[in-house]
Every structure is written in C-alpha cells, then in structure tokens.
Amino acid sequence: MPTLLSIGSAVPDHGISQSQVLSILEGAKGRELPARMADILRNTGIAQRYIAMPPEYYLRARSWPDRAAVYEQAAMTLFAKAAAIALERAGLTPRDIGQIVCVSTTGTMTPSLPSQMIEAMGFRSDTRVVPLFGYGCAGGVIGLGLAADLARAAPDRPVLLVSLELCSMAYDHSRMDKKDMVALALFADGCAAAVIGPAGGPGIACGPKLSAFAQNTWPNTLDMMGWDIGDTGFDLVLARDIPAFVASDFAPICDAFLAQQGLTKSDIAEPICHPGGGRVVDALADYFGQDLTATRKILAACGNMSSPTVLFVLEEILRGSPLTRPAIMTALGPGFVGAMGLLTP
C-alpha cells in the first residue's frame, strides 16, 4: 500500500500579522472599516501569515506579466525548499523520484513548474510530471490521492507531491470591495511537499499508509467558491455560507466515506482538515466532536494557504508522534467539491 515516506513545508520570507493587515486595509480605504467588517476580519482565527512580496507591493497597480514574473520566481524558490526538505527526510535524492505531482491554482507556467524544476533540482529526464490545476483549497487532498494512485500503479517509481499556492499574487486588490478584503484577511502563501512510496521504504519510520481517497461534487454549486478573471487579477467568488454547508451537506458525505472503510467518527484520531477560516474550523470541530488543535494551530500561524494548508496540518500532527489510529483528511474547494482521504498506521 502507498506510504507517506516524508513531508516538508516552506513559506516565503515576508511575514505579516493580522493586525498589520487591518491597518493596511484601513489605510487603503482611507477610513476605519465598518464595525461588522472589522469583526469578521478579526475573527478569522489567524494571527500571522507569510506572503511572497513586501506588503507595499500589493497596493501598487500590477499587470498580469508582473504577477506572472513574481509567481515564477517565488514558486520555483518555494518548490525547491519544500521538496529538498521532504527528500532529505525520506533519505532520497531527486534522481530517486520517478513521478512528480504538482498542485497549484494561483498561477500558471508553461512549461509547467515541475517541468522547469527537472533540470534545476537534478531530477531524471524520464521523470513523469503531472500538473494539477483548478481545485483550489481541495487540491492538497486530491493531489495526495492522485500521488497515492500513481505510487500504487508504479511502486518502483516514488512520487513527489508538491502543493504550492501564492494566493497573495492571485487576487485583484484594486477595488477593495468586501470580497477583496475577505481575501486579503484570509489567504496566504506557502508550499508543502510529500514523498510517497512503497511500504517499508525509507523515510518516516512509521509513516501512515494512504489507504483510500474520495471526492464529491455537489450540483448547482458552481457559484459557491472560485474566482472570475479580472483585468489585473482574480476576483473572489464566495457566494454561500460554507460553515452551514459543512453541517448540512458535507457531514453526510464524510459519514458515508468512513462507513465505506468500516469506521465511524469515534474510531478516528485527530482529523487533518483544511481550515478555510475560523468559522469553518468551528463547524468541522462540531461535526467531528474534536477540537482540531493542529488545524487551528496552522491557521493561526500561517493563514489559509489554499491547497498546501492541509499538508501543513498533516506535518504538524506527525511531528508529535506517528499515527496509532486511522485519521481522515478533509478539504473543500471550487466545484463545489469535498475531498477526503483516509490515513492508517
């Protein structure tokens, strides 16, 4: 069964606290924020985040070519950092990797980011490259499931999964409307990498098995989450109450997924959840009946980095001790899609 051999993460150099974000927003608007909006931004569950460029960069007009150039440089740097950590922890070199799955929805490169890293990092020329685009926050779980499938199909070719998002480069901040301010208050930049190979391989001594993955797309929810293409960036689409959706629609899907594996919520260890925001974490905690300590810790320290965030949570959970019970991974993203994965000792 495919096994998680190692995991590593990296963030950009520019840290910013949530109080700084509020001050920047008020400066950009030229006045204090409405009380309700200020409360929303303070209640995100985020204390600090990391972004690719200094804060003042984002208040200037930015063309698509400018964004693309910054994305390419920052993405290659973070890819290299996170991948190097994961490979070292697995006891492997780039030449040991046979396949690379790369998840990113906040920027594009052609040739793709992993293709450009083949020569830069010394991967073999016959390394299979699979870029994955469009799943947003759900991409980390979906990418891990795809990596597990590839490792299962070719166990002699270890898989490197890299999930990278530069959310700060994606959004158009020219209007400073309500949705743009929500995006500014929630999203951050980061990269996580994982090495997946056969059981008994090098790496984490008791790395969890990647047992099962599933996803569900709900009808008539295309307007629930995503973005529209603006003149100089992406315009956030966030049309429904996601915390309420967790209780009414996502919970039954999770129940069914666990039941298919012969499990219930009482059988699982601390869930590994993409946090979304503070209210989403609260809704997930209510459903699972657990406080989701690691999920809250990563949200507070790093913000919502979109797809890699759930892998940061996984790294945090495994940092303490290996799994002794099954654990579920969850994430919600554009589509509207729910992604789930089961990890077992």
Residue 57's domain is classified under what CATH number? 3.40.47.10
AA identity, residue 232: T
Query: From CA 163, how far away is CA 339, in angstroms rounded?
Result: 15
- Which of helix, strand or coil describes residue 246? helix
| Same-domain pairing of 181 and 218 | no
| Same-domain pairing of 336 and 278 | yes
| Same-domain pairing of 45 and 179 | yes
Under DSSP, the state recorded for 112 is -
Q: Is residue 192 part of a domain?
A: yes
| Same-domain pairing of 238 and 328 | yes
Q: Is residue 203 part of a domain?
A: no
| Same-domain pairing of 131 and 268 | no
Residue that is last in its domain, among 150, 178, 198: 198
Residue that is last in its domain, among 173, 198, 223: 198
pLDDT score for 206: 54
Residue that is last in its domain, among 167, 198, 229: 198
AA identity, residue 169: M
Q: Is residue 318 part of a domain?
A: yes
| Same-domain pairing of 311 and 192 | no
pLDDT score for 246: 92
pLDDT score for 29: 65
> How large is the angle between the packed helices 178-186 and 18-29, nearest 10 degrees?
160
- Which residue reads 């295309």 in tokens? 222
Are 246 and 283 within 8 A, CB to CB? Answer: yes
Q: Is residue 96 part of a domain?
A: yes
Q: How far is CA 123 from CA 98, 102, 137, 151, 225, in A?
A: 8, 14, 28, 17, 36
Question: Which two tokens mark 63?
Answer: 């063309």
pLDDT score for 281: 95
Catalytic residue (one of 137, 191, 273, 302): 137
Q: Is residue 19 part of a domain?
A: yes
> How large is the angle between the packed helices 309-320 and 139-153, nearest 10 degrees?
70
Are 269 and 178 within 8 A, CB to CB? Answer: no
| Same-domain pairing of 267 and 331 | yes
| Same-domain pairing of 194 and 225 | no
Q: Is residue 204 part of a domain?
A: no
| Same-domain pairing of 245 and 137 | no
Length of the chain: 345
Respond yes or no: is residue 302 known to be catalytic.
no
pLDDT score for 55: 84
| Same-domain pairing of 52 and 9 | yes
Q: Report H helices in the chain.
A: 18-29, 35-42, 64-90, 113-121, 139-153, 167-170, 178-186, 242-245, 251-260, 278-288, 293-302, 309-320
Parts of the chain with a pLDDT under 50: 205
- Which of helix, strand or coil describes residue 184? helix
pLDDT score for 280: 93
pLDDT score for 175: 63
Angle (CA) 5 314 111, round 5°: 70
Question: Within 13 Å, how many C-alpha atoms sit on residue 243's CB side?
Answer: 10
Q: Is residue 31 part of a domain?
A: yes
pLDDT (tens digit per residue) in 222-247: 888 777 776 666 767 776 688 899 99
| Same-domain pairing of 24 and 82 | yes
Are 285 and 265 within 8 A, CB to CB? Answer: no
Number of domains in the chain: 2
- Which of helix, strand or coil describes residue 3? strand
- The domain of 251 spans 209-344
| Same-domain pairing of 253 and 127 | no
Question: Which two tokens mark 193?
Answer: 């990498």
> How large is the angle between the packed helices 18-29 and 35-42, nearest 10 degrees?
150
Q: Is residue 227 part of a domain?
A: yes
Are 322 and 345 within 8 A, CB to CB? Answer: yes
Query: From CA 292, how far away is CA 288, in angstroms rounded?
Result: 9
Gyration radius (Cα) of the chain, Å: 19
